[in-house]
Amino acid sequence: QTKYRKDYKPTNYLIKHVYLNFLLNEDTTRVISRLSMVPNYGTAGSPPSLELDGRKDIKLVTVKVAGKELQSSEYELTDKKLTLSRLPAGEFEVEIEVDIKPQENSSLEGLYKSGGNFCTQCEAEGFRGITYFLDRPDVMAKYTTRIEADAKSYPVLLSNGNLLEQGSLDGGRHFAVWEDPFVKPCYLFALVAGDLSVREDSFKTMSGRTVTLRIYTRAKDIDRVAWAMESLKRAMKWDEDTFGLEYDLDLFNIVAVDDFNMGAMENKSLNIFNSRLVIASPTTSTDMDYSRVEGVVGHEYFHNWTGNRVTCRDWFQLTLKEGLTVFRDQEFSADLNSRPVKRIDDVMRLRTAQFVEDAGSMAHPIRPDSYIKMDNFYTLTVYEKGAEIVRLYQTLLGKDGFRKGMDLYFQRHDGQAVTCEDFRNAMADANGQDLSAFEAWYKQAGTPHVKVAASYNAAARTYTIKASQHTPATPGQTEKGPVPIPLAVGLLGHDGSELPLTLQGDAAAEPSTTKVLLLTETEQEFVFTEVAEKPVPSLLRDFSAPVKLEVEGQAEDELVFLLAHDKDAFCRWEAGQRILRGLLTSLYTAASASKDTKLEECLSAAGGVPDKVVAAIGAVLSDKDLDGAFAAAAISLPAAAELIGTIPNIDPVLLHNVRQYVVHELAARLRPELEAAVKRNEAPAGASYVPGDSAQAAQRAIKNKALSYLSALKDAKVTADLLQRTRSATNMTDQISALACLVDSEGPERETALAEFYEQWKDDALVMLKWIALQAGSNLEGNLKNVEKLLSHPAFSITNPNACYSMFLGFLRSPVNFHAADGSGYKFMADSILKVDKINRQVAARMVSSSAFTAWKDYDVERQQMMKEQLARINAENGLSENVFEIVSKSLEA
């Protein structure tokens, strides 16, 4: 059942027009489709058969070809296919009637019900759960959709495009007819029918058209959509200003639903969103929630051009639209907020999650070569690493060159389903450059390791950078070649000033303070001339490529210097992270070498946290001129995920304890500085929360970061203060971070705070998701018992994807309990995966792929053994979904 990229073949038939008629009911929903088929098999021979995709939960009622009903002997029907043969030559019409039961569709793929309303999710292959169809992105058609339903229960009837007609019918029913003038693949089809409230606004496009904007939610949520609406308008304006891209219809709808597998979906003119990415208010949403809403509303809107107007030829090309659209939403957020902080956040995410994926058993290139279930490839690699590869073009071609490439891409491919190569060719041709070497980034899985060794020649006044690259083997791909890597470099003088740079052999170029070196070979040398003093190098500025960088012989003093002086915010932050990663690694190594002595004694004997490190962190904390969000990131310890894989056979609980030791040391020795930072960044009394105000958010970020350090002291005064903060907070950012500080500590404050929070927010499902996640991820010893109890709490529902993500992905975040030495955490996770798989395979698959099960090789041998046992147990389950099977079997093979 594996599909291969190399097997791509166009279909024998295309579809010119799709007419759909939905008769929505409580028991059986009837779907009637009329497809105008067009031959696509050339002129030779008799018409080939037509293979339509389907799913076993759709029931075929009738099928007609050219107006004539077929007998069951005249077609072939299996669980997954409806095959029609002996077809007429030339164009003809196929009419199909099926019955489906959306109310029983717990997979949330295709047409399903959420909160009493009908909605759809068709990407990647959900449309085949609605009717038999050529369910692939290179089959593009115009759609007309008629929806009929009970008028009282489903007053709102929506689909893609323009409303053509609506009216009432006998028996309390009504109907609407929608027509989408743009061709699209079926994965962009959407339908919504329900009892929804609406907020309306409008946007005037650059050519002067007025677009009506509507956001629909259930009545209880409609007062919290202002931020999503604002974000939508900003996104529309940004795409005009940045890429000259204008919206192309008179109506744009967003619908929020509570049950949704992913974040959101870019269906043409009818985006459907997970409600957690639409609904926002200061008292119920954190600063991070606000920025996610902004980013995802932008992301789905930007898909209208990068995804919808120009789509993917086949699903292997997914990064064509997703990598590009993530890049676009990253730039959008960077332009509207702090660019450096946004970049650091994105890099953090890439390194803590995508690098792990790229090193695990599911490692795949951004353009995969094969899959069993496409849904398993909506990954950090395709999305986030894909966005980094798009960014490489911009780094090399400049913003203007990148824009030229985009213009040519739309000029050539508007209305088409294309490949990653088409995109690269547009970039290359628009700039008169040969970019064929970039193919390696699309073909090769794994994170390249770059090694840099630099030396200064005082007599010759030259500074030489030797760089080499190597990509480690990944499953099924042992041979790796070099990839083109732009390495942005700056050189700092002893006073922290930026030296003007001239590259040997590049005399024509203007001297500048950042140069982009392009590594194309396995080993290369670059020489800077006229370097007046021995500089401190600032390497991989702005994280100019998705690689792991090792700098030979880099002294800690140089890192301290960069943390204090580098003008490049990413490198400045990274200098601090390197110091802390080095510290955690050496302390962990000392601790694991002498497992029986008391941890604290052992760590302090190993040097503890050196004064130099404490001073460097203290300096960041006390620097009043620093952006608080940057400072918060700069004093954060690198995530465990950044170390796992770099230390062979790691004991994750020991690593956690080492981290806690460092946190405690820093808190104890910087207490006055931490308390001063809290005080300095406290919001003035009576100040109100202003959505999107980065300055306010930055103050909360550093204040709450400082509080979380202080909470490690387990000091009665601090704990009492935190409890007070959970009560008096005027916004969710402050409230939830105070609660988070208490959740890992024993003592009555924990229970009190959790109980009070529950009482305050029990009627708000979105806030309850946070309450669940915090408890599930707690590192209190033996917390599994609490998690098991929480499963039967009314705030949790196993059929709701968000609730599962909070509960189970939350639990995965606890090294102490997920990685418990007795294997109880692994067993619980495996049991939960099996239970969820019977309900929703996409959610179950995400539970496996987010777990350390796919990277079991990184852990100590006892844990390896226990993880493999659970993988084998899952693998042996009867009726396991293909989704979970693919990930589990690949993990066992790795």
- Site residues (CB under 6 A) for ligand ARG? 123-124, 262, 264-266, 299-300, 322, 375, 378
β-partners of residue 550 are 451
Q: Which residue has the tokens 């919290």?
A: 224
Catalytic residue among 51, 125, 300, 665: 300
Integer angstrom CA distances of residue 147 from 265, 317, 388: 20, 32, 41
Of 300 and 422, which CB lies nearer to ligand ARG in the complex structure?
Answer: 300
768-793 core/surface letters (b: 16 or more CB in 10 A; e: else): bbbbbbbbbbbbbeebbeebeebbee
CB of 276 to Zn ion, least distance (A): 16
- Within a 10 A sphere around the Cβ of 717, how many other Cβ atoms? 9
C-alpha angle 692-694-695 in degrees, rounded to nearest 5: 135
200 tagged catalytic: no
Of 138 and 375, which CB lies nearer to ligand ARG in the complex structure?
Answer: 375
Closest CA to 346 of 360, 332, 359, 358: 332
Please give the Cα distance from 120 to 107 (Å, whole number): 11
CB of 354 to ligand ARG, least distance (A): 15
Of 299 and 863, which CB lies nearer to ligand ARG in the complex structure?
Answer: 299
CB of 378 to ligand ARG, least distance (A): 4
Of 322 and 345, which CB lies nearer to ligand ARG in the complex structure?
Answer: 322
CB 226 within 8 A of CB 279: no
CB of 320 to Zn ion, least distance (A): 11
Closest CA to 8 of 419, 289, 285, 389: 419
Of 147 and 382, which CB lies nearer to Zn ion in the complex structure?
Answer: 382
Close Cβ partners of 650 (under 8 Å, ≥ 6 residues apart): 588, 643, 644, 858, 859, 860
Q: Which residue has the tokens 């993988």?
A: 871
Of 471 and 840, which CB lies nearer to ligand ARG in the complex structure?
Answer: 840
Close Cβ partners of 40 (under 8 Å, ≥ 6 residues apart): 10, 11, 12, 13, 14
CB of 325 to Zn ion, least distance (A): 5
Which residue lies nearest ligand ARG, judged by its C-beta? 378
Closest CA to 892 of 855, 850, 860: 855
Please give the Cα distance from 622 to 355 (Å, whole number): 32
> Six-digit token pair at 865?
């053994």
CB of 296 to ligand ARG, least distance (A): 8
Of 329 and 749, which CB lies nearer to ligand ARG in the complex structure?
Answer: 329
Please give the Cα distance from 849 to 353 (Å, whole number): 11
Which pairing describes strands 3-4 and 110-114: parallel, antiparallel, or unpaired? unpaired
Closest CA to 586 of 552, 610, 554: 610
CB 178 within 8 A of CB 163: yes
Of 265 and 579, which CB lies nearer to ligand ARG in the complex structure?
Answer: 265
Closest CA to 589 of 537, 654, 638: 654
With H, G, I as helix, E, B as strand and everything else as coil, classify residue 276.
helix
Integer angstrom CA distances of residue 335 from 235, 330, 747, 811, 813: 11, 9, 45, 35, 32
Could you please report the per-residue DSSP string of 786-848? HHHHHTTSTT--TT-HHHHIIIIIHHHT-HHHHT-TTSHHHHHHHHHHHHHHTT-HHHHHHHH
CB of 301 to Zn ion, least distance (A): 11
The helix or strand, by DSSP H or E, that contains position 522, with its residue range, turns out to be none
Please give the Cα distance from 183 to 203 (Å, whole number): 24
Q: Taking CB within 5 to 8 Å according to partner kind, which of ligand ARG, Zn ion, none is near residue 262?
A: ligand ARG
C-alpha angle 761-762-765 in degrees, rounded to nearest 5: 90
CB 489 within 8 A of CB 541: yes
Q: Taking CB within 5 to 8 Å according to partner kind, which of Zn ion, ligand ARG, none is near residue 375?
A: ligand ARG
Task: Annotate each residue in 285-324 with x if it binds Zn ion (CB under 5 A) or - if it does not, as one string.
Answer: -------------------------------------x--
CB of 261 to ligand ARG, least distance (A): 6
Residues binding Zn ion: what is the number (CB under 5 A)?
2
Of 301 and 811, which CB lies nearer to Zn ion in the complex structure?
Answer: 301
β-partners of residue 489 are 515, 539
Of 123 and 388, which CB lies nearer to ligand ARG in the complex structure?
Answer: 123
Q: DSSP secondary-structure letter at 498?
A: B
Q: What are the helix and strand counts (H, E) for the chain?
A: 29, 32
Of 133 and 273, which CB lies nearer to Zn ion in the complex structure?
Answer: 273
Q: Taking CB within 5 to 8 Å according to partner kind, which of ligand ARG, Zn ion, none is near residue 357?
A: none
CB of 377 to ligand ARG, least distance (A): 8
Closest CA to 160 of 193, 136, 190: 190
Is the sign of the CA dihedral 593, 599, 601, 604 positive or negative?
positive
Task: Annotate each residue in 614-633 with x if it binds Zn ion (CB under 5 A) or - if it does not, as one string.
Answer: --------------------
CB of 303 to Zn ion, least distance (A): 6
Interface positions with Zn ion (CB under 5 A): 322, 325
**Catalytic (active-site) positions:** 300
